[in-house]
């Protein structure tokens, strides 16, 4: 059988095609060995690309040691008393759920720190070691209208007794706050006001009126089913769950009952998809991620900045990338970032690669460089 002859022109075209294909394959091999092809996908909605966020709020912590057993509230014409279970709750969570975090509203009284050094030292440890947030719950837990001494005094008490700490969140007693009080809070630098109104299911649009999603207590055990439903929904819509209670006999029959329900609540929430955070942290992350500006300088280098300055200390924001190849190292402003085995709840700088997905958490501003396994 005689094979058909290939014309010189066709032969040259075929040869040129082979050269082009070979070059493309070689270029792809060089990229995979030396530089991953990197695509920036945008900031994660929540730190570490968690699907949803959850805040656990507990009111009526006290700064006066005399009120650690029984706490009294002046309701105008009458005074009511409740057993205080805050120490039992703190001990239970630190021992059994040290990763869990609370925002706790402190009734400071006339808290100079002279007679309650140990209690303030405990609060300082909860803030700085465990990532809890201390919120102002006023000095005297009164109904509005409230005085500057009651509000600003409480903020001074907290900041004066917890070093290197700024109060960002205010929890008004009885969930009531008036316009004059809000104006005062803004001038004092408060960023978040938490109310008792339902129903919070997303990142707040008005941080001076942050609602709750669900109240947990020993009187309404059906709350667990409602929590399961809302938590399931929020994981799918990228929502926020705000859980609210008191560490007193106002909500619980005993410390044991309270601890049991907290254990069940945390077992429901800690599913690997939910960021357990605190109000000031969620606020900062939300503001930063919206103002983030990322400019690609070359194939593997990016400039990360904020469009305008913020009036708070920034926290790490998580950036999402798609990479073609394994990542050897990530540098930010010339400093190597740690490779994380996993992301916790407290934001930290570092990176983690899962397949072709790369998550990098950094504090803007700076230059980000991504190196592959082929680079020395």
pLDDT score at 112:
57
| Better-predicted residue by pLDDT, 77 or 105 | 105
C-alpha 343: how far from chain center = 12
pLDDT score at 11:
52
The mean per-residue pLDDT over the stretch 186-203 comes to 96
- The DSSP output letter for 183 is H
pLDDT of 115 above 70: no
Where in the chain are the domains? 36-48+284-372, 52-272
Mean pLDDT over each residue of the chain, to the nearest integer: 90
Count the Cβ atoms, other than its own, within 10 Å of residue 208. Answer: 16
Among 21-35, 208-222, 324-338, whose mean pLDDT is lowest?
Answer: 21-35
pLDDT of 114 above 60: no
The mean per-residue pLDDT over the stretch 70-74 comes to 89
pLDDT score at 31:
42
Span 302-340, pLDDT tens digits: 999 999 999 999 999 999 999 999 999 999 999 999 999
Counting residues of the chain whose pLDDT is more than 70, the rounded percentage is 88
Contacts of 224 (CB under 8 A, 6+ apart): 261, 264, 265, 268
The mean per-residue pLDDT over the stretch 269-274 comes to 96
Among 12-26, 167-181, 271-285, 295-309, whose mean pLDDT is lowest?
Answer: 12-26
**Top-level class of domain 52-272:** alpha beta
Closest CA to 160 of 191, 120, 132, 187: 120
Contacts of 287 (CB under 8 A, 6+ apart): 310, 312
pLDDT score at 32:
42
Can you list the positions of beta strands (E) in the chain?
Answer: 37-43, 52-62, 70-74, 79-83, 103-107, 133-136, 169-170, 192-198, 210-212, 214-215, 240-246, 274-277, 292-298, 301-306, 317-324, 327-332, 335-336, 350-354, 357-362, 366-372
pLDDT of 376 above 50: no
Confidence grade of residue 13 (pLDDT, cut at 50, 70, 90): low
């Amino acid at each position: 059988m005689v094979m058909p002859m290939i014309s010189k022109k066709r032969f040259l075209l075929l040869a040129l095609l082979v050269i082009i294909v070979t070059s493309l394959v070689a270029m792809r091999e060089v990229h995979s060995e030396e530089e991953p092809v990197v695509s920036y996908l945008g900031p994660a909605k929540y730190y570490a690309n968690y699907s949803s966020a959850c805040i656990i709020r507990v009111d009526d912590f006290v700064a006066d040691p005399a009120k650690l057993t029984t706490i009294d509230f002046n309701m105008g014409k009458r005074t009511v008393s409740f057993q205080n279970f805050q120490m039992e709750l703190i001990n239970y969570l630190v021992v059994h759920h040290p990763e869990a975090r609370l925002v706790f509203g402190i009734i400071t009284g006339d808290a100079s720190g002279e007679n309650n050094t140990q209690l303030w030292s405990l609060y300082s440890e909860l803030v700085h070691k465990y990532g809890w947030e201390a919120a102002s719950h006023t000095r005297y837990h009164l109904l509005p209208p409230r005085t500057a001494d009651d509000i600003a005094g409480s903020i001074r008490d907290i900041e004066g007794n917890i070093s290197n700490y700024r109060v960002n969140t205010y929890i008004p007693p009885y969930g009531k706050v008036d316009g004059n009080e809000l104006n005062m809070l803004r001038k004092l630098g408060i960023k978040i006001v938490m109310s008792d109104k339902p129903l919070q299911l997303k990142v707040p649009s008005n941080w001076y009126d942050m609602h709750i999603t669900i109240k947990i207590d020993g009187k309404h055990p059906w709350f667990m089913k409602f929590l399961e439903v809302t938590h399931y929904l929020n994981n799918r819509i990228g929502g926020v769950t705000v859980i609210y209670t008191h560490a007193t006999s106002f909500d619980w029959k005993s410390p044991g009952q309270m601890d049991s329900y907290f254990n069940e609540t945390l077992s429901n929430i800690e599913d690997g998809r939910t960021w357990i955070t605190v109000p000031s942290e969620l606020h900062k992350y939300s503001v930063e991620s919206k103002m983030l500006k990322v400019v690609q300088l070359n194939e593997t280098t990016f400039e990360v900045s904020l469009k305008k300055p913020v009036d708070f200390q920034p926290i790490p924001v998580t950036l999402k990338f798609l990479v073609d190849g394994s990542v050897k190292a990530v540098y930010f402003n010339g400093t190597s970032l740690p490779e994380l085995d996993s992301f916790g709840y407290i934001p930290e700088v570092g990176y983690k690669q899962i397949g072709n997905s790369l998550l990098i958490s950094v504090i803007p501003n700076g230059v980000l460089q991504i190196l592959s396994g082929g680079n020395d």
